């Protein structure tokens, strides 16, 4: 009995830490150009700097400073590749004091300068190979590459209804995960919680928010939130967080697809976005599921939403 009680207390403590960490993740992403000192961040999490530094590394696998630097660089990549923003503009926008410090940090992650990275990767949609925590572009025959892009362009035009629209504010109950994990358990748990607390209606919508791009982030560091859209704000239980996804202008691709088509749909929508001259905003993209995602089989009705400027 004593051992079981200790285990329950340990699990509850771990869940509490994860909820506090969710607050930190959101604060960092919303303040990449601001004060992200250990003192400031630890106050957001209601920890002392001494304890927070160790808890953060234990739960994420990287130090706070490394995580902040990585997020700043990752957020800069889409704008580097798909806008005419200068290097110095990107440096200031993402919290660097000058062009030199931004370029030095960028080269630490990608082995090349921002200028060279743009030359190598501009308007390319193929995966980026991961090698010893450094990301380098894989070689691909020029003709093969364009054939592959044309196939994806045709596939998305055939299978998706695409429109630009304003997605209203959404209240979202979720669990955050780091790394690629099976979402079924999380969705099932959140559905149970939503029904018990009368936070969802008869036709609940599931949702996933993606904070990283698999083209530029190691799989083990990819962070996502999975849960349900709720009709009202209610008290949660340990391990479940609630946040508001603000109203945003999006390119929305509506599809009815199987699990193995999701990557194709996402890349196809990126191509459509670029073909039509849209630029992604810093807000994280998300999926809204209108029926239960049937992993491993069957089709799912989904809106893929990419916030744009």
- Express as a percent the part of the chain with pLDDT over 70: 85
Q: Which of 42-51, 99-108, 237-246, 257-266 has the highest mean pLDDT?
A: 99-108
Which 3 state secondary structure label does DSSP give 135?
A: strand
* pLDDT tens per residue, range 151-162: 889 999 999 999
Between 47 and 143, the higher pLDDT residue: 47
d(CA 70, CA 64): 10
- Express as a percent the part of the chain with pLDDT over 90: 47
Burial of 127 (0-12, 13-18, 19+ CB in 10 A): middle
**pLDDT of 24 over the 50 cut:** yes
Rg for the chain (alpha carbons), in Å?
20
Between 136 and 110, the higher pLDDT residue: 110
Q: What is the 3-state secondary structure (H, E, C) of 28-79?
A: HHHCCCCCCCHHHHHHHCCCCHHHHHHHHHHHHCCCHHHHHHHHHHHHHHHH
Reported confidence tier of residue 221, pLDDT bands at 50, 70, 90: confident
**pLDDT of 87 over the 70 cut:** yes
Tokens of 227: 């849960």
Q: What is the pLDDT of residue 138?
A: 44
Reported confidence tier of residue 252, pLDDT bands at 50, 70, 90: very high
User: Which residues touch 68 (CB under 8 Å, ≥6 apart)?
Assistant: 28, 32, 36, 95
């Amino acid at each position: 009995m004593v051992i079981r009680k200790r285990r329950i207390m340990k699990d509850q403590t771990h869940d509490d830490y994860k909820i506090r960490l969710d607050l930190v993740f959101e604060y960092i992403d919303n303040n990449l150009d601001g004060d992200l000192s250990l003192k400031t961040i630890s106050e957001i999490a209601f920890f002392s700097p001494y304890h927070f530094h160790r808890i953060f590394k234990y739960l994420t696998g990287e130090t706070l400073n490394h995580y902040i630097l990585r997020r700043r660089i990752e957020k800069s990549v889409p704008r580097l590749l798909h806008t005419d923003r200068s290097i110095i503009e990107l440096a200031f926008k993402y919290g660097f004091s000058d062009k030199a410090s931004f370029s030095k940090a960028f080269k630490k992650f990608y082995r090349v300068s921002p200028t060279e990275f743009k030359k190598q990767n501009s308007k390319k949609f193929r995966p980026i190979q991961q090698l010893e925590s450094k990301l380098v572009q894989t070689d691909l025959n020029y003709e093969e590459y364009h054939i592959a892009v044309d196939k994806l362009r045709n596939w998305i035009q055939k299978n998706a209804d695409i429109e630009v629209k304003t997605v209203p504010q959404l209240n979202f109950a979720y669990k955050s995960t780091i790394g690629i994990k099976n979402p079924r358990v999380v969705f099932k748990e959140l559905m149970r919680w939503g029904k018990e607390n009368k936070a969802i209606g008869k036709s609940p919508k599931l949702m996933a928010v993606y904070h990283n791009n698999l083209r530029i982030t190691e799989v083990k560091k990819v962070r996502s939130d999975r849960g349900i859209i709720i009709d009202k704000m209610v008290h949660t239980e340990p391990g479940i967080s609630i946040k508001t996804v603000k109203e945003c202008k999006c390119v929305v691709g509506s599809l009815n697809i199987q699990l193995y088509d999701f990557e194709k749909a996402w890349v196809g929508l990126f191509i459509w976005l670029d073909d039509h001259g849209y630029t992604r905003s810093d807000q994280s993209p998300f999926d809204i599921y209108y029926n239960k995602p049937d992993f491993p089989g069957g089709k799912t009705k989904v809106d893929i939403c990419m916030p744009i400027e």
